[in-house]
Structure 1
Amino acid sequence: MVLVGRTGGGKSTAGNTILGEEVFKSKCSARSVTQKCEKREGNVSGRPVAVIDTPGLFDTKRSADAVEEEIMKCLPLSALGPRAFLLVIQLGRMTKEVKETVERLQEVFGEEAVKHTILLFTHGDELEDQTIEEFIEDTDEDFQQLVEKFGNRYHVFNNKNMSDRTQVTKLLEKIDRMVTANKNIQVKDAPTGLLSNRSQCNTLRMVLVGRTGNGKSASGNTILGREAFLSTADADSVTKRCEQREGTVAGRHVELVDMPGLYDTKRPLEEIREVIAISIILSAPGPHAFLLVIQVGRFTEEERRAVEIIKEIFGKDAAKYTVVLFTHADKLNNQKIETFVGKNKELRELVEKCGGRYHTFNNNKNKRDRTQVTELLEKIESMVKENGGSCYTNEMYQKAEEEIRREQERILRETEEEERKKKEEKKLKIEEEMKQREKELEEKMKREQEKERKRMEEELKKEREAMKKRVHEEQQKREEERKKREKELEEKMKSVKEEERKRMEEELKREREAMKKRVREEQQKREEERRRRAQSNSCRIT
């Protein structure tokens, strides 16, 4: 879908709301924040959605032609053409703005664009409790007629509430109904507004394409007989964007489109592809001839790649409308171009792919010598007759884009399948590695456990031996202490016995002495008793 509308209407914010994330730069400004067509993709409600944001119509700092040319780039950005235009209008900017915007929309994309358009009102929060239907009923008759002109197809967004995804899903449902009503026909054709000021009768349209520095712009100047395109010797592409110039050559109206050089040293390939696609629109309804500009003596690897890029961009049918234009013909040094081409196999194959059509230019030659130009026109007119008077149309470009898209989808499927297989192989490899690591870890744990067991057994053995040693030492110590105590006890016993013996001897001695003393005393007592009795007896006798 393509977002169109005035500057400040909320196109970029609406794109962010649709995709559910901040993918487009958005801010409040009188000048268009979006300076060129931008394409963003995402998944919305389980389906892939591509949104193209365009510069604001009536940009306060850019010319209408510049804005219109940039907006036209949305066509090549959507390979088969957009399914829907979303004409973004801010609530409060009503009838006059919508009328002007609709007129510009039809100028750029043609009358049929209205059938593919839905009015998208932003700032829905300003409705408060009022429905959009009630709001439209309260507007003037002119605005209601405009809404009817768009088949009463409208929707309202509250961009401040991006979390409310129902407003997005309802919009997609309305787009689906519109696409079904249009029988799935998409906006493909070149804008009719671009053709209004062009005379299509007796007009020969050509597109200059080739590698940077090969002399495309200089060749365009030679054909038109004036300095219409900027041309300098530079490694960088002088032509930064598609440029269209017109003139009368040999009584015929000629339109030339000069394109940025292939392999521009400062521009990415995708950007070159996008700009080159605009050449089809600028040469609407389509070019009669592609002039593939190649410098004599400069058919390099990059040159071969340039040819492949042309085929990738414009498709195989482009070869039927292509003439190889060799520049710097003075470098041939009187050698015929046929001989020069015949010597190089790859160059010869290239010319054969282009139906054997080729021509030489000496852009440094006297500009008044127009024979080289008229001969080129004759070859182009002959090719046009062979093509039934037709030109390379936008439909052919769309077909080429569709083929490219299908090829890309095929490659994507193959890549996804390859990625899936790689992921499965990686998963199996990881699982195998995990199993291997688990096995290694298990074995390592077993080794560690066995090592730990042996270490513990060794420590236990050492502890047992140490304990045994300690027990033995303790036993020895106790034995020594026992013997020491026994010895001490024995010595003590001897000492005690000796003392006891001495005591007993001393007691015995004392007892003996006491006994002797008692015996003596007894003897003395008996003696005294005997004496007393003797005395007593003496007395009695007396």
Structure 2
Amino acid sequence: MSGVKNHRFGGAADPSERRLVLVGKTGVGKSAAGNTILGREAFESELSPSSMTSECQKAKGDVEGRKVAVIDTPGLFDTNFTQEEVLNRIKMCVSLSAPGPHAFLVVLQLGRFTQEEKETVRMIQTTFGEDAAKYTMVLFTHGDQLKKQTIEGFISESPDLKAIIRTCYDRYHVFNNEIKDPKQNSQLLDKIDKMTMANGRSYYTNAMFLRAEEAIEKEKERLLKEMKAERQRELQQLRTKYVGTACRREENHLHIRYQNEARARAERSNDFTAAPAVAIGAACGAAIGGVFGIIGGPIGLVVGVAAGAAVGATVGAIAVRVSDGCHVQPQASDHKNSLLLVKGSRRQKPSDELRIIVVGKTGGGKSAAGNTILGRRAFESELSPSSRTAQCQRAEGEVGGRKVAVVDTPGLFDTNVNEEEVMKKIKACISLSAPGPHVFLVVLKLGRFTPEEEETLRMIGRTFGEEAARYSLVLFTHGDRLKKQTIESFISKNERLKEMIQVFHNRYHVFNNEAGDREQTVQLLEKMDRLTVDNGGGHYTARMYRNAQRASKKEKRRLLKELKAAEQQMRSVLEAEVQRDMKTTGQTVKKDRCLLQ
């Protein structure tokens, strides 16, 4: 609770002022929404792969005769900061709304409702507690993308999004930041006034925030306690296992030893009936008692926990990497698909057509890009919170006097399908490009370059191997958002994005899927032709795919080997500890032996 004092936001209230705090994922249009509300450029808002808002900012204005204070906050999922750092900054921002905000506006960009969006809302709700829900409203940006669709129709297509809206008492609004329509501001403020009236003209208070902080601390303590107890249980199970093993070894050793001694005594006294059993029982009992006595003591506990924590950390790290490697396990169907590449296709000869596979995150505009390339509506493309492409689809056409085949793939990070299932489907899509694609068109939506975008590129690389980069080209969609900015300037603003582009041999292109300009398609095909020439006129082959799968298997075997080595290290540490403990029982064993003689 030491950090709570730094986040207090008590102060004198202006009864006529409406205080609004904008929160949400980086790149969704928070700053632009703040500017739209105030009717002026109060906050810096420019298309960039990195967040433009790194610190709290406050601006005031008079809107439709009402005093309004808007607090802009840093965006979640910015690759430049950890989530903990961002959340701490957002907490500090609340102090700018003293004595407390009337509304938290959770900003979501109209488009796919992915895991990042879902996690954004969850983190905000956790940070400000249950009380905050009464003061929260969802603000959708980029309302122009709805076109003839209603916001209610859009929300109804995603159960996850509907659930989020319900937690906000079904309060939401839509903004089009590109138009200067004062009516959308008036409607938003009317909804906020209605919400404030429903809350008895109150606002989110410092007491509510302190309760949320206390709840977070209690939850942390509970989780740490559970983790500690679980670690102790696992460690005790391992100790018990290896103590039993050591005891059995000692038992066998003593059994042989005392049997020999008993035989020697029997030869002298003809009495060797009870001695071996008594000796073995006493020795093993002493060993077990000594071991558990030490293990239960503070020194044994500290040594055990320290060793278990050190080795356990290694095992955990390797296990994560093994899990990561498992995403690219070849399936039986994958081998069949690679065979299809070898056998070829009943369609055009390899030299007759340009074959393109479109891959990327859900909502990036893959299907729309395919339609733009072909110059017709070959793939279903409509604004939706869920992915429209559930299966592989192929469409063909003649573009600039040449035959082109486009294969559309399911999107990554769709909340309705797990990633493993999506990757299986994407692998299956390769067969539709037989005998192999000339180009992997990696689609990225212009905006913030978040961990989801970064992981999208990595997953594609892991699945198709290092050689696939030679046949890949990054396609940025929603080019209209650049306005007067160049794509080179956009890329230069984020080091990680620059590095990713370099992996793809600095090949990229920009599409505006809304424009009917065929020149952008001609330019893209020219870049693809240069790519193909650089590759000696070839295409991505079945051999390359099999190599990628073999490399995946090899990496998995290596990681499993490391995991086994770490497990063996754990055994060695525990056995060494047991052996040390067994030595402390040596005097007891000697005494038992003396009693037998």
TM-score range, shorter chain: 0.3 to 0.5
What is the TM-score with the length of structure 1 in the denominator?
0.45
What is the TM-score with the length of structure 2 in the denominator?
0.41
Asked which structure has the greater RCO (Cα within 8 Å, sep 6+), the reply is 2
- Higher-Rg structure is 1
